[in-house]
C-alpha cells in the first residue's frame, strides 16, 4: 500500500522539468496540480517564469492540463488567461479527473506524467491510475486549510521513505 505514495521522480520545482527530457521518455502530456505546484496557493496569477515554462512545453508539442481539487473560480481565473485547459474539483486521488484529462488531450496514460506537490492527492492518484508521477517541493511553506491535515500525514510517510532510502526530500530553499 505504501508504494502508492512513492513518486517515480522528485524534483525541486516545476522548472526542473524540461521538454527535452519529457520527449526522450516518450511523454506527450502533463497533468499538473495548481496550488503549491505551479504557484503559491494564494497567488492568483502565473509568474512570468511560469508563463515561459508553459510556452516552452507548447512549442515542444507537450500538452498540459491543470487538474486541481480547488473550485472553478480559482482554477479558471488562473488557467483561462494562459489558455491552459483545466479540471476543477477533481477529487484527487480518485481517478476520474485523470482519465478525463487524458481523454481530452487524446493521449495514453503511458504518454502522460502527473506532477504535484502532495503525496496524498497527486502522487497517490497518479500511481493508482498507472501514470508516471513527479513530486515537486511545495512552492510555499504555508498551505490552505484542508492541505494542512494532508501535510501532517505526508510528513510521516516521507520520514518512512527517507529511513528506507527511497526518497530524498528537500524543503524549498
pLDDT band at 124 (very low <50, low <70, confident <90, very high): very high
Examine residue 49 and state whether it is found in any structural domain, yes or no. Answer: yes
Indicate the helix (H) or strand (E) that contains 31.
strand 29-32
Look up the domain containing 119 and give its range: 2-163
Kindly state whether residue 126 falls inside one of the protein's structural domains.
yes
Q: Would you say residue 137 lies in a domain?
A: yes
Mean pLDDT of all residues in the chain? 91
161: left (phi over 0), alpha (psi -120 to 50) or beta: alpha
pLDDT of residue 172 exceeding 60? no
Q: Is residue 168 part of a domain?
A: no
Is 118 among the domain residues? yes
Q: Report if pTM > 0.75.
A: yes
47 in a structural domain: yes
Contact 69, 121 (CB under 8 A): yes
85 pLDDT exceeds 50? yes
Residue length of the chain: 173
Residue 11 domain flag = yes
User: Can you tell me the mean pLDDT for 4-11?
Assistant: 94
Q: Are 101 and 67 in contact (CB under 8 A)?
A: yes
Report the distance separating Cα 103 and Cα 53, nearest Å.
23
Which of 26-30, 52-56, 163-167 has the weakest average pLDDT?
163-167
The CATH number covering residue 59 comes to 3.40.50.1000
pLDDT tens digits, one per residue of 129-170: 999 999 999 887 766 566 667 777 888 888 888 888 887 765
Quickly count helices (H) and strands (E) in the chain. Answer: 6, 6
Mean pLDDT of 31-51: 94
Query: Is 22 domain-assigned?
Result: yes
The number of folded domains in the chain is 1
Amino acid at each position: 500500500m505504501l508504494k502508492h505514495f512513492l513518486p517515480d521522480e522528485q524534483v525541486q520545482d516545476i522548472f526542473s522539468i524540461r521538454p527535452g527530457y519529457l520527449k526522450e521518455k516518450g511523454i506527450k502530456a502533463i497533468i499538473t496540480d495548481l496550488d503549491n505546484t505551479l504557484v503559491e496557493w494564494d497567488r492568483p496569477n502565473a509568474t512570468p517564469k511560469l508563463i515561459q515554462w508553459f510556452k516552452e512545453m507548447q512549442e515542444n508539442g507537450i500538452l498540459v492540463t491543470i487538474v486541481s481539487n480547488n473550485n472553478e473560480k480559482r482554477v479558471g481565473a488562473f488557467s483561462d488567461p494562459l489558455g491552459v485547459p483545466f479540471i476543477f474539483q477533481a477529487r484527487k486521488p480518485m481517478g476520474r479527473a485523470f482519465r478525463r484529462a487524458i481523454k481530452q488531450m487524446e493521449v495514453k496514460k503511458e504518454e502522460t506524467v502527473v506532477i504535484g506537490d502532495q503525496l496524498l492527492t497527486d502522487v497517490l492518484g497518479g500511481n493508482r491510475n498507472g501514470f508516471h508521477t513527479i513530486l515537486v517541493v511545495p512552492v510555499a511553506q504555508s498551505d490552505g486549510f484542508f492541505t494542512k491535515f494532508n501535510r501532517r500525514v505526508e510528513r510521516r510517510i516521507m520520514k518512512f521513505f527517507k529511513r528506507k532510502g527511497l526518497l530524498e526530500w528537500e524543503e524549498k530553499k
